[in-house]
Amino acid sequence: MRVPRWPQSPARTTAVRCRSNPLGKRSPGLSTPLLSVVNPLAGALAYTPWTKVAIVRVLTIAECPFYNSRTRPPASLATATRRATTATMNKLRAAVIGVGYLGNFHVQKYLALNNVELVAVVETEPQRRAEIAQRYGVAAYADFRDIMQKVDLVSIVVPPDRHFEVAAGFLNAGVHILVEKPVTETVAQAETLIRLASKHQCLFQVGHLERFNPAVIALREKVAQPQFIGAQRFAPYKARGTEVDVVLDLMIHDIDIVLSLVRPQIVSISSSGQSVVTGDIDIAHARIEFADGCVADLAASRASQDQVRAMTIRQANSYISVDFMNHVLLVGEIDKDGCTDEHKEVSFETRNLAGTDVLMDEIRSFVGAVAQGSLPEVTGEDGKRALEVAIEISRRINDDSDGVPVLVGELAPASR
């Protein structure tokens, strides 16, 4: 059964976003507030914007300061509630588009979730398609268009040059999407997908997996106003992933993390790099300067002997070191009680974080966002900003235009 949708323009949706759950508390696992539509007759319907799970509570107009004449509930609260109840009795229908190396893992995660039914996979390569169908006992198709009316949400794990075509097709069909990074080939394509997701009220998540790393989650709790960020992401050469250069393949993870930590706009970017094994950029270094004075130095290589995924952050009163691979967080903070005019005492704390299945966490978060109507952890806008910076870094390497400042506002992160 299709997940019901109530017509709601993007402008109207923005007008009714609340700062808190109408029931006075957040739902379990809900990272952002629900939406509410005000009943002019002193009532309100709180509902999730995608699956439309309804919670009815009588409110006065005074309790709803965001009310205006343009917001209105569905014609019948009883009908809306009945629709939502019917939808929640059914499992969400999922599919994986592209079942190569990474897509295979997406299949496994969906099969392990109780609130999802994996109804199909799509793979253009006949032998691989038959192999996956037999291994998991799932229907397999050669063309993604054949399943657009059969699913509620999909993981898009095809090569990057097909992301836009496949994602746009599903958004136009009203299907929620999780798109692996990089989100698209061009910024214009990403912007189009964002508009389509808004138009069709679909959730649009981008697969920046490191956001679900326990070390990144812990890091964000410690970072307030960074002054310097250094990141290294090195890996031995593998043919998989070489459809794009190392900036879009590896460095984009750290670009996304940096942009999630530093809010002021970018004022300049400089970069350098070289080809080693692929004929494209295999080693890259970038320096990003922000309006508040923060500097990020990022290095990435896919022609390294060792595998490294690490980040260091300096703030006014603390130093933070993160080992993403081993989930270790080291925090050094100035001990104010031990300070004198002559010297400052620094205390260090090491946290060994429990490892998790980050891909499962990502997919569970995606499914939960669809079911609960919350914003995804990594939005289409987040994916677009990371892509924009990555493309600029690659362009400067290829054009040898290192050191030319970016105009203020050109690559400014969206307000949060």
Edge to edge, what strands does the sheet with 35-39 contain? 35-39, 43-47, 54-57
* pLDDT, tens only, 141-200: 999 999 999 999 999 999 999 999 999 999 999 999 999 999 999 999 999 999 999 999
Average pLDDT taken over every residue of the chain: 79
Cα angle 78, 84, 90; round to 5 = 140
CB-CB neighbours of 31 under 10 Å: 13
- Do 92-202 and 211-356+380-399 share a fold? no
Q: What pLDDT is recorded for position 96?
A: 98
pTM, two decimal places: 0.74
Residues whose CB is less than 8 angstroms from the CB of residue 20 and which lie 6 or more positions away in sequence, other chains included: 26, 33
Say how far apart CA 203 and CA 415 lie, in whole Å.
19
Query: What CATH architecture applies to the domain 211-356+380-399?
Result: 2-Layer Sandwich (3.30)
**163-172 helix and 187-199 helix, angle to the nearest 10 degrees:** 10
Residues whose CB is less than 8 angstroms from the CB of residue 377 and which lie 6 or more positions away in sequence, other chains included: 31, 205, 211, 212, 362, 365, 369
* pLDDT, tens only, 6-59: 333 333 333 333 333 333 333 333 333 333 333 332 333 333 444 433 333 333
295 or 83, higher pLDDT: 295
| Confidence bin at 404 (pLDDT 50/70/90) | very low
> HSE of 234 in the Cβ direction (CA atoms, 13 Å)?
11
What are the extents of the domains in the chain? 10-88, 92-202, 211-356+380-399
Say how far apart CA 16 and CA 167 lie, in whole Å.
27
Q: What pLDDT is recorded for position 242?
A: 82
Contact status, residue 179 vs residue 196, Cβ threshold 8 Å:
no
Cα angle 195, 192, 12; round to 5 = 5
Q: Which helix (H) or strand (E) holds 88?
A: helix 77-88
* pLDDT, tens only, 81-136: 333 344 445 799 999 999 999 999 999 999 999 999 999 999 999 999 999 999 99
CATH number of 92-202: 3.40.50.720
Say how far apart CA 391 and CA 398 lie, in whole Å.
10
